[in-house]
Structure 1
Amino acid sequence: MQTVPVNLGKRSYSIYIGQNLLCLNLPTNSELLSRYFHNKRVLVVTNDTIETLYLSSFLSKISKAAEIANIDSVVLPDGEQYKTLEYLDKIFNKLLLENYARDCLLVALGGGVIGDMTGFAAACYQRGVDFVQVPTTLLAQVDSSVGGKTAVNHPLGKNMIGAFHQPNSVLIDTQLLTTLPEREFNAGMAEVIKYGIMWDETFFNWLENNANQLKAQEASSLVYAISRCCEIKADVVSEDETERGCRALLNLGHTFGHAIETHMGYGNWLHGEAVATGMVLAAKTANELGWISQNCVKRVIQLLNRFDLPIAAPEAMNPADFIQHMQRDKKVLEGKIRLVLPTKIGAAVVTSDVDNKILIDVLS
């Protein structure tokens, strides 16, 4: 088991990563589970896909691992299109109807949508209650479960309604990825590749050399990749929890990607697919500015191609569509679109000095 600390003073917590760490089909790590669930009233939030695969086993095992005062669940539909205030209210209804008190614990058992919605519910309910992340997708394991960003979508913009609320712990079991569809695994790899582009050239080189092992979900390679991503994110979040500085670098590809998701309809493009295309557009923009070479752009595209990720913007979107959505992005300041752009493999900057003509040329 790998343990990655997130150092945030009184809000510090640990990320636990391993194969069969708490796999729901094998013996439970009772000590680890009891540490966070002991004597708590627990509400597990999940979706209908994970309900079929894991929910009953998970409820049974954490009940045995800790003296839980009471445990229940709420099941939401599976999909980005359900990450809304309407479906968030189903969590609040359950909490209120069952008289959950402030000392309760919410558990996010699912991917990024469930993690974001559960975290946002935990941030809001009685002005803040504890929650634990148990991410079941690769994208959630390497990115969205760590760092305390919680939100729901709005028809006019992705993740525009939310709060920062750190979990008490993140429990990552790579064995849960065995039931993940290949398309969703590949979408998660977009976020893995992101860390190499924006922060760690050595890790990017490692990904180029180990893509086949990762595609085959070779255990030690998978644990290493997830651990390294969590280490990078933990370091960034520890330095800049509320995204006033370097944490914005984690949004490489996201300004373009969120525009795709919003325009095409939530759920039609997976988040990681949109981010993959967004990173290509960011790399091409940096190349137009003379910041990176054409070879760097080529390496980014080639690595994304290894995981069958899209690298071209949707034909249904024109440059004006992109710019309209990007002007509503959370990073916009004083009316200027701010982009995260690579300056080489392993480094990036946030800039608002990109002329719209260059953006239009790239998007065309």
Structure 2
Amino acid sequence: YIVAIGGGAVLDMVGFAAAISHRGIRLIRVPTTVLSQNDSGVGVKNSVNSFGKKNYLGTFTTPVAVINDFNFLKTLDDRDWRGGISEAIKVALIKDLSFFEWLEQHAAQLASRSLEPMKEQIMRCAQMHMDHIAGKDPFEMGSSRPLDFGHWAAHKLEHLSSYRVRHGEAVAIGIALDSTYSYLKGWIAKEDLDRVIVLLQNLGFSLYEPELSGENLIKGLREFQEHLGGQLTIMLLERLGKGVEVHEMDHAMIEEAVKMLKDWNQEAISKS
């Protein structure tokens, strides 16, 4: 056995090493961050960045046990406390409206580092991720990865910022971008988009980073297709609580969505 104690990057690194050593060593994960406790720690993937790309080398290895100790959360700085909540917003938006509404109702408590609602958020989010992974495509042989909602832009943003923008922060921006794109497509109403944006802002997330603009972001679509290993499949919102897959994205509409996020973010900064 090997026991990995740490955040998502540490768990991935140790899990990758365990998977390729002696044809596999049994892995126990002890995730220590919100993001790893509610998402990556309960998954089956281990990967490391290589060749200038995120998660380029990796394996599928099911851990024999995952131990979530909530006391670790007390040691986190505010960025890592907040960052993992974006993964809960992600899964709620594509799968469970009632969970999204719960997050709206408890946003102030989560932002102020109240431990009890954070525990519930982690347990609900982790259960939804496990339920999905245990479904029809746990090892991602198809071209669809619903749990990657908001991630195509997030992966590119992390790389473009030289990982100054952490994963959870990048996912929050990616969620905002794809939700805005869904609104521009006419799939969700403006009031629904406003709810997503307000929730992200109430939790303290930025909606925009300078690296989000320009042709490099569009290149992220092609890289994400390579990451999928097949047809481009992007998860958008048909409505709050229900995702819909598309196989192409309008570049001009992406740029319009980015501009809207930039304006909203600047407005929030001005008010503060």
TM-score norm. by structure 2 comes to 0.88
Instruction: Sort the Cα spacing of 1:281 and 1:107 in 2 relative to 1 into closer, same or farther, 3 A.
Output: same
Which structure 2 residues correspond to residues 216-295 of structure 1 after superposition, within 5 A?
A: 216-239=112-135, 240-244=137-141, 248-266=145-163, 268-295=164-191
Aligned-residue sequence identity (percent) comes to 33
Displacement, 1:245?
A: 5.4
Letter in structure 1 aligned against 2:252: K
User: What is the root-mean-square deviation of aligned Cα atoms in Å?
Assistant: 1.8
Letter in structure 1 aligned against 2:73: L
| Contact in 1 for aligned 2:183/2:193 (Cα 8 Å) | yes
2:25 and 2:75 map into 1 onto residues whose CA distance is 30
294-303 or 273-282: which moved more? 294-303
Which structure 2 residues correspond to residues 335-350 of structure 1 after superposition, within 5 A?
A: 337-350=232-245
- The answer for the alignment partner of 1:83 in structure 2 is none
1:208 to 80, 94, 104: 104
Letter in structure 2 aligned against 1:111: G
Letter in structure 2 aligned against 1:128: G
1:325 to 206, 215, 220: 220
- The answer for the alignment partner of 2:58 in structure 1 is 162
2:2 to 95, 99, 106: 106
351-360 or 321-330: which moved more? 351-360
| CA deviation string 1:272-325 (max 9, x = no partner) | 00000000110011111111111121111111111211112x224433111113
Q: 1 or 2 for the larger relative contact order (CA 8 Å, sep ≥6)?
A: 2
Displacement, 1:156?
A: 2.6
1:140 and 1:247 map into 2 onto residues whose CA distance is 22
Secondary structure of residue in 2 paired with 1:327: helix
- The answer for the alignment partner of 1:143 in structure 2 is 39
- The answer for the alignment partner of 1:121 in structure 2 is 17
1:155 and 1:305 map into 2 onto residues whose CA distance is 34
Displacement, 1:107?
A: 1.2
Displacement, 1:200?
A: 0.8
1:107 and 1:282 map into 2 onto residues whose CA distance is 37
Secondary structure of residue in 1 paired with 2:206: coil
Displacement, 1:244?
A: 3.9
2:212 and 2:118 map into 1 onto residues whose CA distance is 35
Secondary structure of residue in 1 paired with 2:21: helix
1:107 and 1:349 map into 2 onto residues whose CA distance is 38
1:299 to 187, 190, 195: 195
1:182 to 50, 62, 78: 78
2:36 and 2:143 map into 1 onto residues whose CA distance is 21
- The answer for the alignment partner of 2:269 in structure 1 is none
| Contact in 1 for aligned 2:143/2:233 (Cα 8 Å) | no
Displacement, 1:177?
A: 0.4
147-156 or 214-223: which moved more? 214-223
1:246 and 1:208 map into 2 onto residues whose CA distance is 32
Letter in structure 1 aligned against 2:170: A
- The answer for the alignment partner of 2:268 in structure 1 is none
Structure (1 or 2) with the greater strand fraction: 1
Letter in structure 1 aligned against 2:155: H
1:273 and 1:333 map into 2 onto residues whose CA distance is 27
Structure (1 or 2) with the greater helix fraction: 2
Letter in structure 2 aligned against 1:170: V
- The answer for the alignment partner of 1:27 in structure 2 is none
| Contact in 2 for aligned 1:131/1:168 (Cα 8 Å) | yes
- The alignment of Structure 1 onto Structure 2 pairs a total of residues equal to 256
254-263 or 350-359: which moved more? 350-359
- The answer for the alignment partner of 1:359 in structure 2 is 254
| CA deviation string 1:77-117 (max 9, x = no partner) | xxxxxxxxxxxxxxxxxxxxxxxxxxxx1111000100111
TM-score norm. by structure 1 comes to 0.67
Letter in structure 2 aligned against 1:132: I
